[in-house]
Amino acid sequence: MPITIAVAGNPNSGKTTLFNALTGLNQYVGNWPGVTVEKKEGRLISNSQVVLVDLPGIYSLSTTSLEEQLARDYLLESNPDAIINIVDGTNLERNLYLTTQLAELGIPMVLAVNMIDEVEKSGLKIDSAALGKAFGIPVVEISALRETQIDELAMLAMCTAQEKGHFLPVHRFSGGVEHILGHIEEVALHEQPEYKQRWYAVKLFERNELVEDELGLSAALKAHIEQDIRACELEYGDDSDSIIAAERYDFIEEVLAKVAVRKKAGELSPSDRIDQVVTNRWLALPIFAALMFVVYYVSISTIGATLTDWTNDTLFGEILLPAVSTWLSDWGVAGWLQGLLVDGIFAGVGSVLSFLPQMVVLFLFLAVLEFSGYMSRVTFIMDRMFRKFGLSGKSFIPMLIGSGCSVPAIMAARTIENEQDRRMTIITTSFIPCGAKLPVIAMIAGAFFGGKGWVAFGAYFLGIAAVVISGIILKKTPLFQGEPAPFVMELPAYRWPSLRSVFTTTWERVSSFVKKAATLILLATIVIWFTTYFGWVDGRFQMLENSQIDYSILAGIGGTIAWLFKPLGWGEWRPVVAAITGLLAKETVVSSLGIFYGFGEVAEAGQEIWTSLRVAFTPLSSASFLIFVLLSAPCLAAIGSIRREMNNARWTWFAIGYLTALGYVTALLVYQIGSWLQGSAFSPWTGAALTLAGLLLWLIFRPEPKNSNALKRAKAGARG
């Protein structure tokens, strides 16, 4: 029978490094039922009968966050055979706080003191035997990064799990607290298994509403327990939560005084000396900007770009697609099927796979920075700035990546623990103009604005402004509203990243994109190909030539909805269809317009069609068109990634709808108000634009609604 072992620990304690080292590629990633936080499971390399479950990184089991509730629910309901509790040996006091709570669950546990090499370098000596005796559990000193003693840890965890017993915690609180806990166990928990009574008693003492509901306590019993808790609070002069927290830390301090001895008191560690520079008030941002410029330049503009161009132009454009086309012709395959396979499926897959080289290089760099400990500093540095407009400091990294490609940028948002901040980051990241939008920017700039550089600068400024405005507006809505969560995190010691962890993490992220997003792109590509190359001519439904594009299904759809875009200044089916085909890839906006205006192929900036564009657009309507393309729903690869990261169809449609609505409204404001200021007559659409502008300003500057949950907690605290 398989053995299940849960791996639990604080963020940045080395939990993921340990999990990857023990499981290698024998792991699979899914989502916890009903939520979007990832659930990683894997089988031990040394024993495939042992399943490891990597729980979310947490600081406690107080269920104040989604991660804590997931970990708590899994441990209580799934009842794993054992727990590996990994702690950062360089910060034992903070990490052992979770250990005291895990010990109360009654599940057999092994304590893994990680980063023991860093501990020794810092001059700290840990008596593991004494530490294990204090908690009543076995202790192993390991280095997950260097894979030191991890096999011994796995073996000890398996042996502990095979005992099939339950664990009773050794540590005790002070006399007054223990008296109340014992009384709670006696009056309310006598029907619960003995090994669970301690956990439930502590949670009832802390007034944990989730536990109260689970146990189904009567009103009279709750009142009786509340009376005892109030008496204890009066005796200790503090609220019950704070009493338990203080008692835990008192116990930890008492233990550490016996088991941890520092040889070099007062000496700064190497990490502290590095932080004096990289987190310096004045140097932090320039250092980070320079570092990320190098990462971005190498990943997107040099190595990544070279590999992407080779994949797209040579591998698919010159080798695979011509070869497949020749083979199909030689085999006598019907023309429509050749078009589907070559122009639809293979070209569509090629457009997706062309992202992979950039993603691989970028994810390698990000994994190195993440496992080295530097990314934790970045989120700390950027948090204060980003929180002013409703985003997490961790939102900065995806938006920086988004200037290259929205797909890896959206995927990078998974490092944001807070669900609301993560969703908002996923939604707003694609506002930043990616490389695929540059041909559209170049086409409009060349055709209408003399190729001036300020057009590209304005496009990036527009994206940043859309992010900031969206953060301010959305944070005031019920979907994203909430009091700012305190930014609490441990800064791990700097360390050389493990190559296995780096490659495993990169492989996991890239393969996830290929398996999930690429399947959606494949289906969408077939649909767009079909609607572009099939239509009715002389009453007959047939496959079309390029010269017959006016009769295509897509042209019919564009003509049907073109009236929606007349207020934006471009209500003719050609630009409408071009914007729609931009869903496949934003670069196709230029090539689609080339086909529609009589050019089979156009240069990247679309120089051949500038004259035709100047007839179809005015400078103001071209700006409106560009704004809509930049801000509306991104390409299908990005939408697929949004669907993958949201793991919820409604949230995906909300993201698409919000992006498109903001793009439409912004384009409407620019065209209608701009036309009026240029001397056009005041029209109902001008009035609508001015009304929307006023509404937008009100949404930005209105006071933030009071948080009802915060009020409830405040009232509960007042009653306590």
Say what the pLDDT of residue 566 is: 93
Domain identity same for 185 and 149: no
The pLDDT-based confidence of 546 (bands split at 50, 70, 90) is low
Q: Specify if 643 maps to a domain.
A: yes
Contact 345, 522 (CB under 8 A): yes
Domain final residue, candidates 162, 190, 219: 162
633 and 694 housed in the same domain: yes
pLDDT band for position 36 (cuts 50, 70, 90): very low
pLDDT at 489 over 60: no
Whole-model pTM: value is 0.62
Do 138 and 226 have their domain in common? no
Helices 194-205 and 240-259: angle between axes, nearest 10 degrees: 120
- Note the pLDDT of residue 300: 56
Averaged pLDDT, 298-325: 71
Report, as an integer, the average pLDDT of 485-510. 72
Q: Do the domain assignments include residue 503?
A: no
Full residue range of the structural domain in which residue 230 is found: 175-262
Distance CA 24, CA 31 (A): 20
Residue 208 has pLDDT above 80, yes or no: yes
The DSSP symbol for 38 reads: E
pLDDT at 600 over 50: no
pLDDT tens by residue, 428-469: 998 988 767 877 887 888 888 876 767 777 888 898 889 889
How many angstroms separate the most distant Cα atoms in the chain? 93
What is the rounded CA–CA span in Å between residue 297 and residue 303? 9
- The DSSP annotation for 446-501 comes to HHHSTT-HHHHHHHHHHHHHHHHHHHHHHTTSTTT--PPPP-----PPP-PPPHHH
In a domain, 65, yes or no: yes
Query: The sheet that has 109-114: what strands, in order across it?
Result: 27-31, 38-43, 50-54, 3-9, 82-88, 109-114, 139-141
Does residue 693 sit in the same domain as residue 592?
Answer: yes
Q: Provide CB contacts within 8 A for 600, sequence distance 6+.
A: 546, 594
DSSP 347-360: HHHHHHHTTHHHHH
Alpha helices of 297-339 — where are they, by DSSP H?
303-309, 321-330, 335-339
3-state secondary structure of 110: strand
User: Which residue intervals of 373-437 are DSSP H helices?
Assistant: 374-386, 396-402, 406-412, 419-429
If one counts the domains in the chain, the total is 3
Is residue 505 scored above 70 in pLDDT?
yes
Give the pLDDT of residue 58: 83
- Tracing tokens 């605290």 back to the chain, one arrives at 717
- What tens digit of pLDDT does each residue of 145-161 get? 888 999 999 999 999 98
Question: Is the same domain home to 526 and 589?
Answer: yes
Q: Residue 719's pLDDT is what?
A: 36
Query: Is 9 a residue whose pLDDT tops 70?
Result: yes
Q: Residue 590: what are its φ and ψ, rounded to 5°?
A: -70, -50
Give the three-class secondary structure for 3: strand
Q: CB-hemisphere CA count at 13 Å for 614?
A: 11
Domain boundary among 262, 286, 312: 262
Residues 546, 598: Cα–Cα separation, whole Å: 9
pLDDT at 712: 42
For 322-361, how does the pLDDT look when each residue is reduced to its tens digit (9 = 90+)?
887 788 888 877 776 776 677 656 655 555 565 577 668 8
Under 8 Å CB-to-CB from 332, ≥6 apart: which residues? none
- The more confidently predicted of residues 469 and 543 is 469
Q: Are strands 38-43 and 27-31 parallel, antiparallel or unpaired?
A: antiparallel
The reply to whether 581 and 687 lie within a common domain is yes
Quick one: 141 and 252 in the same domain? no
User: Is residue 56 assigned to a domain?
Assistant: yes
Average of pLDDT values for 516-545? 73
**Residue 189 is part of a domain; what is its CATH number?**
1.10.287.1770
- The residue among 323, 327, 400, 397 whose CA lies nearest residue 367 is 397
SS3 label, residue 262: strand
Q: Is 130 within a domain?
A: yes
Q: Is the same domain home to 564 and 689? A: yes
CA distance linking residue 412 with residue 293, whole number of Å: 17
| Highest mean pLDDT out of 36-40, 190-194, 512-516 | 190-194
Residue 463 lies in a domain: no
Residues 689 and 547 occupy one common structural domain: yes
Return the higher-pLDDT residue of 553 and 301.
Answer: 553
Judged against a pLDDT cut of 80, whether residue 638 lies above it is answered with: yes
Which positions ≥6 away from 539 have C-beta within 8 Å?
none
Higher pLDDT: 375 or 140? It is: 140
pLDDT surpasses 60 at 707: no
Which pLDDT score is estimated for 716? Answer: 38
What pLDDT was estimated at residue 720?
A: 36
Q: Taking 80 as the threshold, does the pLDDT of residue 677 lie above it?
A: yes
- Of the ranges 76-85, 450-459, 495-504, 640-649, which one carries the lowest mean pLDDT score? 450-459
Confidence of residue 476 (pLDDT cuts 50, 70, 90): confident
What whole-number percentage of the chain has pLDDT above 70? Answer: 80
- H or E, element range at 506: helix 499-533
pLDDT at 570 over 60: yes
Distance CA 27, CA 547 (A): 52
Q: In this structure, are 182 and 66 located in the same domain?
A: no
Instruction: Give yes or no for a contact between 533 and 543, defined as CB atoms under 8 angstroms apart.
Output: yes
Residues in the chain: 720
Indicate whether 637 belongs to any domain: yes
Domain boundary among 237, 262, 287: 262
Q: Mean pLDDT, the chain, as a whole number?
A: 80
Which of 37-41, 175-179, 366-370, 687-691 is the least confident region? 37-41
Whole-angstrom Cα Rg for the chain: 30
Q: What is the pLDDT of residues 65-115, one digit of tens each?
A: 667 788 888 988 888 999 999 999 888 888 999 999 999 888 999 999 998
Q: Domain containing 42 — which CATH number?
A: 3.40.50.300
**What confidence tier does 675 reach under pLDDT thresholds 50, 70, 90?**
very high
Q: What is the 3 state secondary structure string of 673-716?
A: HHHHHCCCCCCHHHHHHHHHHHHHHHHHHCCCCCCHHHHHHHHH
CA distance 55 to 7: 6
Residue 123's CB is within 10 A of a number of other CB atoms, namely 13
Domain match, 150 and 179 both: no
- Whether 210 is in a domain gets the answer yes
| 190 and 94 together in one domain | no
Q: Phi/psi of residue 91, each to 5°? A: -145, 60
Q: Is the pLDDT of residue 713 over 60?
A: no
| DSSP-derived pairing of the beta strands 540-543 and 534-537 | antiparallel
pLDDT at 516: 52
User: pLDDT digits over 428-439, tens only?
Assistant: 998 988 767 877
